[in-house]
Amino acid sequence: MKKRRVKASRRSRRRYGMMLFLSLVVVGMIVTLMQRPFSQTTTLTADPDNAGHVAIGQAVYARSCANCHGPNLEGQPRWKQPLPTGGYPAPPHDATGHTWHHPDALLFKITKYGGQASAPRGFRSNMPPFQDVLTDEEIWAVLAYIKSRWPAAVRDKQQQMSMKAR
């Protein structure tokens, strides 16, 4: 009779141990999955003080943006005047333009999905979408590069606007 109790008790301990082990594995997986989206959203920002992001952004800008917005972020001539075909020339991204008048989230959306996705009704944007060309990380890096070229006062104003928009 005692042997049966010992065997039953060993089985119970094994089952308990196995259930505890599986529970810990499941909890670990849940914690890992919950942290992944958070870590991605916290690292994807347009941080002009992150030298690594700025360097990547400069290279991506030269390859993907400078053709329209100029190698020095100067934009196209007469960027405030409508084109005969509709829309406007590419605006400058330096402090003389209006890029800094928009929060980071909107700049990201315009870059990823194109200007028309965020344009007011009746406005025609010539900004193409880059969702199939650039990764989210590259878009944020380009924005970090652009912001790194602004004077401190402009950066501060734009950062405040971005914080309010969150």
| Domain ranges within the chain, ordered by starting residue | 1-43, 46-165
- Is the CATH number 1.10.760.10 carried by domain 46-165? yes
Closest CA to 141 of 55, 77, 74: 55
- pLDDT tens, 44-62? 689 999 999 999 999 999 9
Does residue 33 contact residue 129 with C-beta atoms inside 8 Å? Answer: no
Q: What is the pLDDT of residue 160?
A: 93
Residue type, 95: A
Q: pTM here?
A: 0.73
DSSP string, 52-64: HHHHHHHHHHHHH
pLDDT(69) > 70: yes
- pLDDT tens, 98-107? 999 999 999 9
